[in-house]
Amino acid sequence: MVNKVSELFIPGPAGRIEAKYFKNSKKTAPVALVLHPHPQYGGTMNNKIVFEIFKTFLKNEFSVFRINFRGVNKSDGKFDNGQGELSDAAAALDWIEKVNMDHSQCWISGFSFGSLIAMQLLMRRPEINRFIAVSPQPNIYDFSFLSPCPASGLMVYGKSDELVPLDNFNSLNKRLSIQTGVKVNFQEIEGANHFFSKKEKELSLVLDKYIKKESALY
């Protein structure tokens, strides 16, 4: 399974973007893009949680893509406070859609800082069907742009997140739950911190259940 994951470079707005890609053999397989945590705090596409999300999509027969934002490892450019990273993510989504012209669904996902970029991309790309945000940080980043949220999705966080007070998750949940037409599921994992240390298995089960249920609707 791992041998089918290709390492490649795609063109991006700041030069080449380093990426890893798994192509499902089914022509109409859904596609997913997975985005990594903050580059200035050691975030890369090889982050353990990013890999866990990638692997869960792969197991559910998606064609799945993960990238290193500009300035990370072999990707060209330098950190751009989120604006350039959003452009990188948009270029990556363009690429995976182009090489999977007949895809049946389009999903976006991210971990921590990556979830912010994923949500911003969601607002700009009406073709995105579902999203998964793992450990978003509504205490640091303003997620008010999600009102209204254009697609249903999942927000997963640790009940013992040391970086985000639970009140912030509850407030965001309250704000998004009053919307009609979309359903944003908030799921907390008991005993998990921001990085899901020793709780990766529990996270995988939550992701797998949601992906199976929602992708079957199409």
Query: For residue 136, is pLDDT > 90?
Result: yes
User: Exposed (0-12), middle (13-18) or buried (19+): which is 218, by Cβ within 10 Å?
Assistant: exposed
> Are the C-beta atoms of residues 69 and 113 closer than 8 Å to each other?
no
Q: What is the pLDDT of residue 179?
A: 87
Tell whether the model's pLDDT for residue 139 goes beyond 60. yes
Secondary-structure class of domain 7-215 per CATH: alpha beta
The pLDDT, as a whole number, for residue 2 is 44
Q: Is the pTM higher than 0.85? A: yes
| One-letter amino acid for residue 192 of the chain | A
* pLDDT at site 218: 76
CB-side neighbour CA atoms (13 Å) of 161: 22
Q: What confidence tens digit (pLDDT) does each residue in 142-170 have?
A: 999 998 899 999 999 999 999 999 999 99
What's the average model confidence in pLDDT over 40-56? 98
Instruction: Give the Cβ contact number of residue 106 at 10 Å.
Output: 21
Burial class (CB in 10 A: 0-12, 13-18, 19+), 13: middle
- For residue range 54-99, what is the model confidence (pLDDT) as tens digits? 999 999 999 999 999 999 999 999 999 999 999 999 999 999 999 9
Percent of the chain with pLDDT over 90: 94
Provide the residue ranges of all domains of the chain, joining segments of one domain with +.
7-215
What pLDDT sits at residue 147? 82
Q: Give the pLDDT of residue 1.
A: 43
pLDDT per position as a tens digit, 188-208: 999 999 999 999 999 999 999
Contact 72, 44 (CB under 8 A): yes
Structure confidence at residue 24 (pLDDT): 96
